[in-house]
Amino acid sequence: MNVDGPVLVTGGAGYIGSHVALALRDENIPVVVLDDLSTGSLAALPDGVKFVHGSTGDAALVRDTLRHHRIGTVLHIAGSLIVSESLERPISYWRNNLCNTLALAESCVMAGVRRLVFSSTAAVYGPSSAGTVDEQAELAPISPYGSSKLAAERMLSDLAAAHGMRLAVLRYFNVAGSDMRGRIGQRTPGASHLIKVACEVATGQRGALEVFGADYDTPDGTCVRDFIHVSDLADAHVLALRYLEQGGPSETLNCGYGTGHSVRSVIRAIEAETGHRLPVRFSPRRPGDIPALVARAERVRQVLGWHPRRAGLDNIVGSSLRWERRMLDERPMAFK
């Protein structure tokens, strides 16, 4: 492959970033990770990956890192991402997702980086009657998280156009699962993502799964999401890198499978996998939740030639449960 210098992965000590770093390393692409370890962990870093501790907002550090390692492409994955938290702490979300992204992008321009991949989100879309959105759907975020990511998309697009940088914006839907070979997984302490939480409950690390709302206008009353396996998403990053290196123009791509699963169907998939009933408690709706969010995702397949290999709740839930059981083995006796 024509790799123009190593790739910088921001947020590479986090859940998605570490799977992306692993996918790049599996393709023998040299990787440097920049992470402030605010939610990430050194234990998540794959072997053979260089690590720089610091923030994307630290302009001097970022410029030194870009120049010292002769970085050709930046995969900007670092960010703040919990929808409900963003409603309580909007300043922190706008600062990290917009201001720090602007600082990073300015450093990229000054250091002559020509290619950028940006982690955006399905939360930039508003609630739609069909629940299924393509890249042209109305952009109407209902949380500071979604708004700050949308603003960052627009800011990056302006900078890219003016400074000869090519930009791939990847709008992830709900990312879940772990490396199928069990090498890495999601370590986030106190995580709030449905499948992570439910698998922690299934392995006895939490008491019960709280289901936020069963009165939505959806087939079974619970919210519907398009869950994408983290390693399929990581593969899309490798393809986006190749695409930009081969001269592909700037693109915005939904990353999902185009299949919706309700919260109740996730619970059923976990029960089928474990053979036990999952303890569940029904609670009121959680602020900021959209009833249904499913990708129309033909474009990512057409543009990048992406062929996901791990679709299906069984792959996602199975790999998540295997990872939680492994984490349990590493933890103190109190959890056993």
Ligand X SMILES: NC(=O)c1ccc[n+]([C@@H]2O[C@H](COP(=O)([O-])OP(=O)(O)OC[C@H]3O[C@@H](n4cnc5c(N)ncnc54)[C@H](O)[C@@H]3O)[C@@H](O)[C@H]2O)c1
Q: Contacting ligand X (CB under 6 A), which of 107, 132, 143, 174?
A: 174
E-only strand ranges, the chain: 7-10, 31-35, 50-53, 73-76, 115-121, 132-133, 166-172, 174-176, 209-212, 224-225, 227-229, 251-255, 261-262, 280-283, 292-295
By the rule CB under 6 A, 212 interacts with ligand UPG: yes
Range in contact with ligand X (rule: CB under 6 A) among 72-80, 125-133, 204-212, 315-323: 72-80
d(CA 108, CA 16): 22
161-167 contacts: CB < 8 A, separation 24 or more?
161/250, 163/109, 164/114, 165/108, 165/109, 165/113, 165/114, 165/115, 165/116, 166/114, 166/115, 166/116, 166/244, 166/248, 166/249, 166/250, 167/115, 167/116, 167/117, 167/118, 167/250, 167/251
Residue closer to ligand UPG by CB (options 181, 277) is 277
Residue 155 CA: distances (Å) to CA of 106, 122, 145, 160: 11, 18, 15, 9
CA atoms within 13 A on the CB side of 299: 15
Token digits for 29?
């692409």
Instruction: Give the interface size with ligand X as a residue count (CB under 6 A).
Output: 29
Is 145 catalytic? The answer is yes
By the rule CB under 6 A, 211 interacts with ligand X: no
Range in contact with ligand X (rule: CB under 6 A) among 54-62, 214-222, 234-242, 258-266: 54-62
Token digits for 65?
């890192």
By the rule CB under 6 A, 206 interacts with ligand UPG: no
By the rule CB under 6 A, 302 interacts with ligand UPG: no
Q: Contacting ligand UPG (CB under 6 A), which of 197, 280, 303, 311?
A: 197
Residue closer to ligand UPG by CB (options 69, 76) is 76
**Residues 92-151 within binding reach of ligand X (CB under 6 A):** 96, 100, 119, 121
Phi first, then psi: give them for residue 293, nearest 5 degrees: -145, 105
Residue closer to ligand UPG by CB (options 13, 263) is 263
What type of residue is 316?
Answer: I
By the rule CB under 6 A, 173 interacts with ligand UPG: yes
d(CA 157, CA 166): 9
Could you say which of 15, 93, 145, 257 is catalytic?
Answer: 145
d(CA 209, CA 200): 9
Please identify the residue of the shown chain whose CB is closest to the bound ligand UPG: 223
CA angle 266, 143, 159 (to 5 degrees): 110
**Residues 47-66 within binding reach of ligand UPG (CB under 6 A):** none
By the rule CB under 6 A, 11 interacts with ligand X: yes
Query: x/- binding map, residues 111-140, to ligand UPG, per CB under 6 A?
Result: ----------xxx-----------------
Q: Contacting ligand X (CB under 6 A), which of 98, 152, 175, 292?
A: 175
By the rule CB under 6 A, 83 interacts with ligand UPG: yes
Residues with a known catalytic role = 145
Which residues contribute to the site for ligand UPG (CB under 6 A)?
Answer: 81-83, 121-123, 173-174, 192-194, 197, 209-212, 223, 225, 263, 286, 289, 293
**Interface with ligand X (CB under 6 A):** 10-11, 13-17, 34-40, 55-57, 77-79, 81, 96, 100, 119, 121, 172, 174-175, 188
